[in-house]
Amino acid sequence: MEQESMWNRRVRPRVRTRRWKVAATVGVAATAAVTVALAVAAPAQAATTLRSLAEAKSRYFGTALTVGDVTNGTESNLAATQFDMVTPGNEMKWDTTEPSRGNFNFGPGDQIVSFAQAHTMRVRGHNLVWHSQTGAWVFQGSEGKPADRETLLARMRDHIRTVVGRYKGKIHGWDVVNEAIDEDGSLRKSPWQVGIGDDYVAKAFEFAREADPDAELYYNDFNLEKPAKRAGVIKLVQDLQARKLRIDGIGNQAHWRLDTPAIDEIDKALVELHATGLKVMFTELDINLLPNTPRGADPSAANPYANGLPDEVQQQLARRYADVFRVFLKHRDAVTRVTFWGLSDADSWLNRGRMNYPLLWDRQRRPKPAFDAVVQALRTPG
């Protein structure tokens, strides 16, 4: 059951607010993730939207958005009202921006940027170098052989220079490299690593800096609450720092579940990542409510909420979001932005043929108890 939300209530803004010392990027996200600048709320009736709560503190809240979202009236109204930061869900990935060598396609990315500009939202560019959603041509050399180091570096530099150059002055910061670390903390044996060597990450940051010296540059990954993986990420960013390359933040994707990772693991990861001296941004936040069932599993086990979410689980989700935001607020000096990976449950990548309920708005774009829980957490002093 959806309860009446603050979203639907009229409340008078208060004048007095408390500022969060936070740098926010969209805890930025995937289907056109929206980012919210984290702000700590003044007591009681400060504002009714995430955006206004954030802006009262000069902060940002983000969401991932796709072209489908920004061309849909209901979605775009919700996004513009609630968020002041946007992450393109797919529109700036390599397979969209350069589907074949030297042929650049900026139509979808431009649509997201225009939408953001029209609604005074910041944009987090996602992403420049990744092993996924990158055309096979990128890694192919002549005569069916894999491309060699020099070829790959030239393609990477040209891509980064063209894409970052296109949006110079319009993108607040870029996810320069995405998901380079494996679960054991080693550098993933991606086609980038295999073809170029371990310094491909440093090269990507170098090229991004050349292309737009004013843009913030980030490293983005998931499962950072797992100690081995986190150690690998910390080692990676420390290597970039030792090379005197620009890096401004670590994006923690935050694709979480109801019970995992535990709150103290989230807390510990945040503290350790921030100890690098970098901003920590939650870039793709969502809470997966579905079991991790094997392919072909009994539908009643694999898709337990096909006919709706029981109220008890709805309340668990709200409590989970409240707990998570309490940690973010506890470390408000470290957490600069929070971005959700998608706007409503209808838009989430986590559905994949099932019925999932990971976000703050339901399939009719009505605020869920989880939305009220986040607003309440943001309004709680201390």
Q: Which residues bind to ligand G3I, rule: CB under 6 A? A: 30-31, 89-90, 132-133, 178, 253, 284, 349
Cβ proximity to ligand G3I, 247 vs 350, nearer residue: 350
In the complex, least distance from residue 350 CB atom to ligand G3I, rounded to whole angstroms: 8
Catalytic residue among 179, 206, 216, 225: 179
* Nearer Cβ to ligand G3I (292/307): 292
How far apart, in Å, are the Cα atoms of 182 and each of 85, 137, 258?
29, 24, 24
For the bound state, the minimum distance from the C-beta of residue 27 to ligand G3I, rounded and expressed in Å, comes to: 12
Biggest CA-to-CA distance, the chain: 68
Comparing C-alpha atoms, which of 274, 225, 226 is closest to residue 250?
274
CB 131 within 8 A of CB 156: no
Mark whether 150 is an active-site residue. Answer: no
Residue 125 or 369: the one with the smaller Cβ distance to ligand G3I is 125
User: Closer CB to ligand G3I, residue 117 or residue 132?
Assistant: 132
| Chain CA centroid to CA 254, Å | 8
What is the C-alpha to C-alpha distance for residues 309 and 362, in angstroms, rounded to an integer? 10
Tell the residue number behind the tokens 């979203």, with chain if given: 7
Smallest gap, in angstroms, from Cβ of residue 135 to ligand G3I?
A: 12
- Bridge partners, residue 61, by sequence: 36, 338
Nearest to 343 by CA among 29, 37, 118: 29
Q: What residue number has its CB nearest to ligand G3I?
A: 30
> Which tokens sit at 266?
């989230």
Coil, helix or strand at residue 382: coil
Active site residue 312: no
Q: Which residues are catalytic?
A: 179, 284
